[in-house]
Amino acid sequence: MTAAMRIAPRTGAAFTLNTGDILTVIDPEGMQVSDLLAFARNDVREAISNGRTFDYEETIRLTTGNILWSNRSKPLLEIIADSVGVHDFLLTPCSIDTFRHFYPDKPEHRGCFGNLAEALAPFGIAPDALPCAFNLFMNVPVASSSGAVTVLPPLSKGGDFIRLRALTDLVVGLTACSAYASNGGTFKPIDYVVDRHGPDQGSRP
Ligand SMILES: [Zn+2]
């Protein structure tokens, strides 16, 4: 098993996956969101798409067995294990504008958006090309009658994880989210492990 990499609180990272690689994202302390973006490595204009994914998977509650699709209707990632089962794919990455909107009395922060933009820039991905992220462990219930969305603390506990298989060669961006409401008011790290064609699918990290 490859050693886990740590994303410090309120920061981000980017890395590549080859087809068949297994990415495990772990919430080591619990109640911490991680925004995930994925782009096709051979043409980064092809990116993860929440709309395509909701359409083809016929749900907004994505978990084990679901595929994450691209804007060009190609499968990018498959969720192969998930110890939480509650993630969000509706809301955009938190950004400096999010902080100005929701937390005008708090210090400004560039948020997941700024962290992703910096981490993905070396791969030729510009800020305006960042789509809605798959927000791991983020708890955003939708009221069935009104459609109202609320951001509640994640249901993840320390050691919870989600595991995804790359279905094509990818550039991936990943954060430890910076927004207060998403994380229960405190900021914690996120760990991840990449198994290159890992043989131990489905086991705990
Ligand atoms: Zn965030």
User: Cβ neighbours of residue 114 under 8 Å, at least 6 residues apart?
Assistant: 95, 96
Residues of the chain with pLDDT under 50: 198-205
Say if CB 77 and CB 38 are below 8 A apart.
Answer: yes
What pLDDT shows up at residue 138?
Answer: 97
Q: Are 73 and 169 in contact, with CB atoms under 8 Å apart? A: no
pLDDT score for 1: 57
Cα 94 to ligand 1 centre (Å): 4
- Distance of CA 179 from the midpoint of ligand 1 (Å): 5
What does the pLDDT read at residue 204? 44
pTM to 2 decimals? 0.93
Tell me the C-alpha distance between 4 and 6, whole Å.
6
For residue 95, the CA-to-ligand 1 centroid distance in Å is 7
Contacts of 158 (CB under 8 A, 6+ apart): 27, 28, 29, 30
Ligand 1 centroid distance, CA of 171 (Å): 19
CA of 11 from ligand 1 middle (Å) equals 9
- How many angstroms is it from 115 CA to the middle of ligand 1? 9
Q: In whole angstroms, how large is the CA radius of gyration of the chain?
A: 16
User: Which amino acid, 136?
Assistant: L
**Residue 7, token pair as written in the block:** 């994303």
Give distance in angstroms: CA of 199 to centre of ligand 1. Answer: 32
- Cα separation, 150 vs 144, whole angstroms: 12
Query: Cα 124 to chain center, whole Å?
Result: 20
pLDDT of residue 197: 80
pLDDT value of residue 3: 83
